[in-house]
Amino acid sequence: TGRALEVALQLFNDPLLADDVPRTVVLLSDGVTTEEDRQNALINSDLLKDTGVIIFSIFIGNNDEGIDLARQYASSPADTFAIAINDINDLGQIAQQIADQSCVNA
C-alpha cells in the first residue's frame, strides 16, 4: 500500500503531466499491512491529498481495522471516498460511482 502510493506520488509529480488531467488514485487493500508500510502509506496518502489528488480507498473485507485504514487513506469526506466491499466481486457495483466522481472535468 505504501509503495503503491509512493509510485502514484512520483507519477503525479511528473512535470510532463498536463495540469488539466484529473488526478485520481483508486487504492484497493485488504487491510493487511506491516506497521512500517502503514506509516509509509499514511504519509504518502497525505502528500497526495495535499497536492490535490483524489484518493478513493477501497477496503476489501469486513474488519474494523481495515475500514479505519481505508478512511485514513481516503480523500475527504471519508464517507464518500472510503468504500468497503465484502470481496473483489463487489467492485463492479461501485465502479460507476468512482467514474462519476473522478471524471468531473474530463
The CATH number given to whatever domain includes residue 71 is 3.40.50.410
> Rounded CA gap, 50 and 66, in Å?
23
Most distant pair of Cα atoms in the chain: their distance: 40
Q: What pLDDT is recorded for position 104?
A: 57
Q: What pLDDT is recorded for position 88?
A: 87
Phi-psi region of 89 (alpha: psi -120 to 50; beta: other; left: phi over 0): alpha
Ranges of residues in the chain whose predicted pLDDT is under 50: 106
For 47-62, what is each residue's pLDDT tens digit? 999 999 999 999 999 8
Q: Which three cell numbers stand for residue 11?
A: 507519477
Task: Provide the domain limits for residue 76.
Answer: 2-17+24-102
- What is the number of domains present in the chain? 1
